[in-house]
Structure 1
Amino acid sequence: MSARSKFNLANDFDTEDTVNKFIQTRPSGLIDIQARVIIDQLKQLRKTDHKSGCLLDVGCGNGEITRLLAKNFHHTIGVDPSFPMISKAIGPDTKCPEIEFKVTQAEELPIEDNSVDVITGISMLNYVDLQAFIPECKRVLKSGGVALFYRDQISKMLSAEDDSLPVIDAPVKLMIKRLLENAREMSHSSYHTHDLHQIQFDGINWINKSRIVNEIEFAHPSLSTLGSWYRFYSHLPFYEKVAESGVNPAAELVQSVKENWSMQDRDPDDIKIKAVYKTVMILLQ
């Protein structure tokens, strides 16, 4: 069985229960920041005139970020291979004709040729067949259109209570390393690289492409404690699959944080944190 057939985005979110857990634990503040980073980049490219323009958001999930991006476009289309995700997305937007959601694979976009001004995608490039997806992007984009793909990954953890406490860096890297190693063994296509889309970037056949890397410090009430951060990670479908093999690197990181900060006796929900995320955007023009 190939990596692509064993695990893919649709299978990760193929039940309503899985989708509900993801939505309930995903921090809204992180969603806001992801949307802001993308919009800021599109503004620099002068691609956010809400009176005109069509946006295609690929791998849109339940549409939360799609709706934030849609405020900058005349018409928006969100596509995702997961039926439960699209069902959630359609619910709030039954009376919003400027946004439409469709269940489809990224490699077979039900979009007319030369009809889209901007394509966006968040944490989805590793799930697609680039050899089929990139030609689809070229087909649907108008002349002068752009595609912007975003991904982030936690890189550091800081205390939100005491600036003198050490930055948690090496344990975070160890957690990511262990996750990726176990994901590779399971042939999961989403977490095959430490370098956030570098392999995908190298494999994209596009004349004018660039890779933009930044770090963002993130502190928000919806992800402000060690406990809420742990629940977010541990309820990701891919993480649950890894944990089935007896590996729980997020729990190990929680213990390491408590030890480094001499907080062994405190409940993780009472330990306030700030997280630093490494963000990467691939821009195709």
Structure 2
Amino acid sequence: MLRFYESNSITEKYQKYRPHYPAQLAIETLGDLKGKKLNFLLDVGCGGGEATNIFAPYFHEVLAIDPSKNQLEEAKSQNKLAHVTYKQGFAETLPCDDVSADIITAGSALHWFNRPKFYKEVDRVLKPGGRLIVFEYWSFKFIPLNMSGDVTKLSEVADKLFQNFVQLETKNNLELENIYRISSNKFMKILDEMPYSKKRRFDNISMERFWSFDEVKGFIQSVDIYDIYMKRKENELLHLSNEERKTKLLELDPSEEFVRLLKESWGCTELENSNVKMKAVFNLYGVIGKNSLYRYFQGIRVAGYRTIFVRLTDCFCTYY
């Protein structure tokens, strides 16, 4: 698993500036299961608990894991649900018993996992008939409000600037480039590779936020690429004094450049950042895979027929 989003600064910005998932996401992805009180949810790569919060009401017990201690501390600080537990854990070695989870979720995290190892662990942990639900958002649209000119073209300028921002690191890093391609292609690759015969992709949910340039700047600073880029530049400038390095880093700051170039393109350079208003639209998409008895028997490791019988009894009582 690649590990980002672990510093205090990016954790704080992630919580403050990232759009939180709408309750509609849990309702639509659980589908016919949402009317039941399911036993156990495992949320993998939970971050600050954004996805955990919307899925938790449908379960008796929830375990949310993440490798980042800072993200987990943030999640614990805002947790108001007694049946939710946050702990450090990794996608490739899930801290759960065999055949224990009704649902496994991963929000804005799957592209960082070693996915073959993760899918193998999902086979071990997920009950027959259980579901793996993975999702994230992309296709950011920053639509200006109360501006003259062609709104569509102004929005396209913002989209192009964001793509340029992403390429600051991906153009020289094949691993990051492949990761971002998975996101920009809206999980089409994930749909193909997910090892389930029953699976479907969804792409019908969006989130809207009304922001100023202050929020846009904070959003840029909450993205992993920003953190990677700024740390690299800081290391390159270690030969300078603290004051010189601070000044140079401000000049190189991609969040500052993004806002400056967008204000120039939108013709509002004379306005304060807080006075430039826009609608930010985020497209949610993902893949839902359903485990089967065939996959279950492929991956199961048991000592004898008694164990199989006990586990199947539990599974059928839950789903059939």
User: What TM bracket, shorter-length normalisation?
Assistant: 0.7 to 0.9
Identity across matched positions, percent:
22
Q: Which residue of 2 aligns with 1:203?
A: 193
Report the counterpart of residue 227 of structure 2 in structure 1: 240
The alpha-carbon deviation at position 251 of structure 1 amounts to 4.2
Aligned residue runs from structure 1 range 1-285, under 5 A:
8-9=2-3, 12-23=4-15, 25-27=16-18, 30-31=19-20, 34-43=21-30, 45-49=31-35, 51-93=37-79, 96-161=81-146, 166-167=151-152, 168-184=154-170, 185-186=172-173, 187-188=175-176, 190-193=179-182, 194-214=184-204, 216=206, 218-220=208-210, 224-243=211-230, 244-245=232-233, 250-285=255-290
Change (3 A) 1:144 1:84: same
Deviation, structure 1 residue 248: 5.6
Task: Give the total of aligned pairs.
Answer: 267
Structure 2: runs of 5+ lacking an equivalent: 234-248, 291-320
Q: Is the 8 A contact 1:57 1:78 kept in 2?
A: yes
Code of the aligned partner of 2:55 = L
Whether the aligned pair in 1 keeps the contact of 2:194 and 2:289 (CA below 8 Å) is no
In terms of fraction of residues, the more helix-rich structure is 2
Q: Could you tell me whether the CA contact under 8 Å between 2:166 and 2:225 is conserved in 1?
A: no
Contact kept, 8 Å, 1:54 with 1:73, in 2: the verdict is yes
- Partner of 2:161, secondary structure, is helix
| CA distance in 2: counterparts of 1:240 and 1:67, whole angstroms | 26
Deviations 1:185-236 (A, max 9, x none): 244374244313333333322212222223625124xxx2122121121243
Provide the rounded CA distance (Å) in 1 between the counterparts of 2:254 and 2:24: 28
CA deviation string 1:156-191 (max 9, x = no partner): 221233597513333233234324433322443742
CA contact (8 A) 1:50 1:71 kept: no
The answer on whether the counterparts of 2:135 and 2:287 sit within 8 Å (CA) in structure 1 is: yes
Distance 2:254 2:199 in 1: 35
The runs of 5 or more residues in structure 1 that have no matched partner are none
**For residues 232 and 198 of structure 1, do their structure 2 counterparts lie closer, same or farther at Cα, with a shift above 3 Å needed?**
same
Give the secondary structure class of the aligned counterpart of 1:46.
helix
- Give SS of 1:277's match: strand
Relative to the length of structure 2, the TM-score reads 0.73
Shift of 1:76: 1.0
Between 275-284 and 190-199, report the one with greater CA deviation: 190-199
TM-score (norm. length: structure 1): 0.81
Instruction: Give distance in 2, aligned partners of 1:164 and 1:133.
Output: 48
Residue of structure 1 in register with 2:308 after alignment = none
Compare 71-80 and 245-254 and name the one that shifted more. Answer: 245-254
Tell me, yes or no, if the aligned pair for 2:157 and 2:265 is still in contact at 8 Å.
no
SS in 2 for 1:279: strand
